Amino acid sequence: MIRLPLDALSAATYDVVVVGAGAVGCATARELSARGHRTLLVDRGDIGAGTSSRSSRMLYSGVGYLAPYFPLWQIAFRPTEVWQRFQYARNIMHCRGELVADMPHRLTKHRFHYPFRKGDRYPHWLVEFGFRLMETVASRGVPLAYRRLSPKQAAQESALVAGLGGRLSSVAVFEEYMYDWPERICVDTALDAEQRGATIRTYAKATRIERCGESWHITLEEQAPGLTGQASINTRTIVNAAGPWVDRVRGGGSGKVKRMLGRKGVNVMVRLPDAWRGQGLEAFSSKGEPFYVFPWGEYHFIGPTEAVVDEDPDDVRVLEAEIDYILGEANFLFPDLRLTRQHVQHSWCGVRPMSTLNGETVSLPVRAIEDPDMPGLVTVTGSYIMMHRHAARLATQAIEKWLGAGSGLPPSGMLIGARDVRSNEDIARIVETEHVVCLTDLIRRRLPDGLNPSLGRDRAQHLSNIAAATLGWSEFHRQHELKRFDEDTERVYWRPCVDEASTELLSNNYL
């Protein structure tokens, strides 16, 4: 649809304004608009440009969430916590089944492995029980296809397993899904919300939120490059879905009470042996933290780090020490790789918005928080992309306490399907109809180019010409957009300081 001038929004009154167009915000707007509520979705930047674009790209089964953080002998004395963990893991499996059924074109299926070793943190029978339990009671027709093999059998099936060091007692083999393009999931969901009646306005920052009588007043300021403007919005209710920024939305929080704890995760993209292509691994690091090796086309990415951060997520960057830690853990698992920084294609990081309760991280993170001092304002925290629809349903239930039940039905299926992009005309249509403002929006979140090995730089010139012709950019504006795209790439991605020829040589020295 045509992008509205910001001041055009001032004339309208909404049932609900959703602040934040990440996966959860887009899904919430979709849920609310489908139920007949007049919905406005706003974001200070582009759709899916924050944490949703820095994810692990994994549609995880959730088995690991069954693992208790307390000693196993205490299980019998903590039935409530054990039950909560089961419910959370079951919800994840249900979300997994829902997304596999609803957006198979956005997912790829891969064979994964879990190595069992002597001295593991959790008893092997308990891990196997978790896999069997989830597959039996929560798979919803999307099985894990769990098997447990001897090291010899697993190595015969998988070159990746054959490369593992240490003494294996057995290896679990199962199926997991990955998002082929998480940013596009956000865009598709937002466009689906628009088809159901929602209004979308990106590059509109909520600079002030105030309670005025029985409604809310939101001040929006234009953030698109080269433009200025402001709008004053009246709404009955608000959903704060700003992810790791929820406590930084002015007037959208509870003052001194923090509702979100940032946890930084770094991922490193490398080229591993060709025989490993398409295969993944889930394990634990030397520190007892989750560690994975995920397939991505001809590459793999490995990680993550687990570090609590207090700074603004906008300022969080990949540190070289974090790169070294991840490479060291990979070399411990696979001694023959001998990975160094020069093997790194690129690396990125994101801040996961973990829920807090009384200043402490809660074990079951997805929450729709209501504050009695702020009636009609709901804050969503702790969700991952894999649970974005579940989080949206929680937010909608909380909002409808104030709005009443909607006139429509919960959304089923997607009105927006796969976009077939084959020509310049197809790209021009995307630029014109999908709320593209900057070249980075097009390359990183509307087209898959931003996830290729060159991070979209190989087609930036060509795509900038199409965007300029469609949006009426001057040559100066087009060149400025190319510069902004390069700056965004340098800001988001860490890359080793070696030339391309050296990187190619290093990438192939064990293939």
**Do both 102 and 247 map to the same domain?**
no
**Do both 177 and 291 map to the same domain?**
yes
**Do both 218 and 298 map to the same domain?**
no
Phi, psi of 466 (to 5 degrees): -65, -45
Phi, psi of 298 (to 5 degrees): -80, 0
Give the position of tokens 């100066």. Answer: 476
**Do both 22 and 146 map to the same domain?**
no
**Do both 284 and 167 map to the same domain?**
yes
Is 279 within a domain?
yes
Is 120 within a domain?
yes
Give the model confidence (pLDDT) of 243-262 as tens digits: 999 999 988 775 567 888 88
Percent of the chain whose predicted confidence (pLDDT) is above 70: 94
pLDDT over 80 at 69, yes or no: no
Cβ distance 52 to 182 under 8 Å? yes
**Do both 143 and 268 map to the same domain?**
yes
In DSSP terms, which residues pair with 240 in a beta bridge?
19, 379
Give the model confidence (pLDDT) of 114-130 as tens digits: 999 888 878 899 889 99
Give the position of tokens 């993170």. Answer: 365
CATH number for the domain that contains residue 343:
3.30.9.10
**Do both 177 and 285 map to the same domain?**
yes
Tokens of 222: 């234009």
Which band of pLDDT confidence, cut at 50, 70 and 90, is reported for residue 360?
low
**Do both 213 and 327 map to the same domain?**
no
Tokens of 158: 């998988």
pLDDT for residue 73: 78
Among residues 339, 370, 403, which one ends one of the domains?
403
Calculate ∠ Cα 367-370-374, nearest 5°: 150
Phi, psi of 393 (to 5 degrees): -70, -40
Percent of the chain whose predicted confidence (pLDDT) is above 90: 65
pLDDT for residue 327: 97
pLDDT for residue 506: 43
Cβ distance 99 to 60 under 8 Å? no
pLDDT for residue 502: 43
CA distance 131 to 401: 37
**Do both 249 and 266 map to the same domain?**
no
Is 58 within a domain?
no
pLDDT for residue 63: 86
**Do both 336 and 273 map to the same domain?**
yes
Number of domains in the chain: 3
pTM exceeds 0.85 for this model: yes
Rounded to an integer, the average pLDDT of 208-226 is 93
CA distance 299 to 168: 25
Burial of 412 by CB count in 10 Å (0-12 exposed, 13-18 middle, 19+ buried)? Answer: exposed
**Do both 334 and 393 map to the same domain?**
no
pLDDT for residue 509: 47
pLDDT for residue 499: 52
Give the model confidence (pLDDT) of 279-323 as tens digits: 999 988 888 788 999 999 999 999 999 888 988 999 999 999 999
CA distance 365 to 357: 10
DSSP class of 414: -
CATH number for the domain that contains residue 20:
3.50.50.60
Is 206 within a domain?
yes
pLDDT over 80 at 274, yes or no: yes
CA distance 237 to 215: 7
Tokens of 146: 């769990």
Q: How far is CA 193 from CA 35, 75, 218, 455, 464, in A?
A: 11, 43, 21, 29, 28
Is 34 within a domain?
yes
Q: Supply the mean pLDDT for the chain.
A: 90
Domain ranges, residue 488: 424-494
**Do both 136 and 265 map to the same domain?**
yes
In this structure, of 183-192, 364-373, 500-509, the range with the lowest mean pLDDT score is 500-509
Is 160 within a domain?
yes
CA distance 309 to 352: 10
Is 76 within a domain?
no
pLDDT for residue 358: 60
Is 83 within a domain?
no
Which band of pLDDT confidence, cut at 50, 70 and 90, is reported for residue 361?
low
Among residues 317, 332, 354, which one ends one of the domains?
354
Rounded to an integer, the average pLDDT of 477-495 is 95
